Structure 1
Amino acid sequence: MNRYLILCVDDEREVLDSVIQDLSELSSHFDIEATESVSEAEEVLAESIAQGVPLALALCDHIMPGRTGVDFLLQLGANESTQSCRKVLLTGQAGLEETVQALNHESLDYYIAKPWDGKALKQVVIQQLSQFIIASEQQLMPWLQVLDAEMLMAAMNDRRLSLNFDEF
């Protein structure tokens, strides 16, 4: 089973700590990294890719010193090695214009407003990761215990049906 990275970016340490706690159950199957800036996120991402651990999901605040979260998500969408990752904006301050820009460039898969509910955040992340794994992995069984089992089983069934159909 391949390892993948979940990258969380927010300039407030207490927000990052809370997100990491909300997602802690996923650490058995994913590397979860927390960074306090886009530049730090870029460093962690480059190191992860160099180690052969692709980015599965970026969870990013919008308003941060330096570059904004939307800019970072747009960059991920434009980069061949990261464009397939799922991109989630977790913020209370993203303007409508920036959010629409990210959506129009297919660089945003989901938007979560702060403050968030931990269970809801975890569910959104699991759904997004399930979509990523279905698109990225042939073997889905190892992911059943941590991701959306219903989505994964449906994908396995669809794959089996398409294989059987191709035999005719």
Structure 2
Amino acid sequence: MEKINIICVDDEREVLDAVVHDLDYFRDLFNIEACESAFECLELLEELDAQQEHVAVLISDHVMPEKSGVELLTEVALDNRFLGTKKLLLTGLATQADTIKAINNAKLDNFLEKVWDPQELLQTVKELLTEYIVEKGLDYEEYIEKLDAPTLYRLIKY
């Protein structure tokens, strides 16, 4: 079984813990990593790449010290090692300009506002994981119980 990671980034520990808790559903088949800054996330990405692990979904807050979530997601989008990584901006403070920048430069896959609905977050991540696994040509059968069936059927070419 391939090692597939979901990374959550937020500088507020309580928020980060809440996101990770809301994603507990995936823990038995996927690694869920928590980072408190963009720089911590970039270090983790280096480690995961060195271990040849997949980074399927990157969820980031926007407003963080030193490097914003949009800057982080843009950097990841421009890194060929992480082509296909699904990017989700989860924030309550992004301006319209920030959001447009994230969509255009970071090739954002989804956007959710804080305070989020845990079920909406779960469903969004299910869809993103499904897209990643199919697009990367991984054996989706190993993960099927946690994937989104409608997305899977839409993407699979028989």
Q: Same fold judged by TM-score > 0.5? A: yes
Contact 1:76 1:107 in 2 (8 A): no
In the alignment, structure 2 segments of 5+ residues that lack a partner are none
Q: How far 1:43 sits from its partner (Å)?
A: 1.0
Task: Report Cα offsets for 1:5-52 as digits up to 9, x if no partner.
Answer: 111000010111111111011112211100100011111111111111
Task: Please identify the structure whose Cα radius of gyration is greater.
Answer: 1
> Could you say which residue in structure 2 is the equivalent of 1:87?
87
> Could you say which residue in structure 1 is the equivalent of 2:56?
56
Quote the Cα distance in structure 2 between the aligned partners of 1:31 and 1:117. 22
1:143 aligns with 2:143: yes
Residue type at the aligned position of 1:75: E
Where 2:70 maps in the other structure, the secondary structure is helix
Residue type at the aligned position of 2:134: I
Where 1:98 maps in the other structure, the secondary structure is helix
Where 2:7 maps in the other structure, the secondary structure is strand
Where 1:81 maps in the other structure, the secondary structure is helix
Where 2:80 maps in the other structure, the secondary structure is coil
Quote the Cα distance in structure 2 between the aligned partners of 1:84 and 1:139. 16
CA pair 99-25 structure 1, distance change in 2 beyond 3 A: same
Residue type at the aligned position of 1:73: L
Residue type at the aligned position of 1:25: Y
> Could you say which residue in structure 1 is the equivalent of 2:118?
118
Residue type at the aligned position of 2:98: E
| TM-score computed with the length of structure 2 as normaliser | 0.94
Contact 2:133 2:139 in 1 (8 A): no
Q: How well do the aligned residues superpose, as a CA RMSD in angstroms?
A: 1.3
Quote the Cα distance in structure 2 between the aligned partners of 1:147 and 1:86. 14
> Could you say which residue in structure 1 is the equivalent of 2:7?
7
Aligned-pair identity (%): 37
Quote the Cα distance in structure 1 between the aligned partners of 2:96 and 2:23. 27
| TM-score computed with the length of structure 1 as normaliser | 0.89
Task: Report Cα offsets for 1:124-147 as digits up to 9, x if no partner.
Answer: 111111111110124221221011
Where 2:27 maps in the other structure, the secondary structure is helix
Task: Report Cα offsets for 1:57-111 as digits up to 9, x if no partner.
Answer: 1000000011000000000110001131000000000111121012122521111
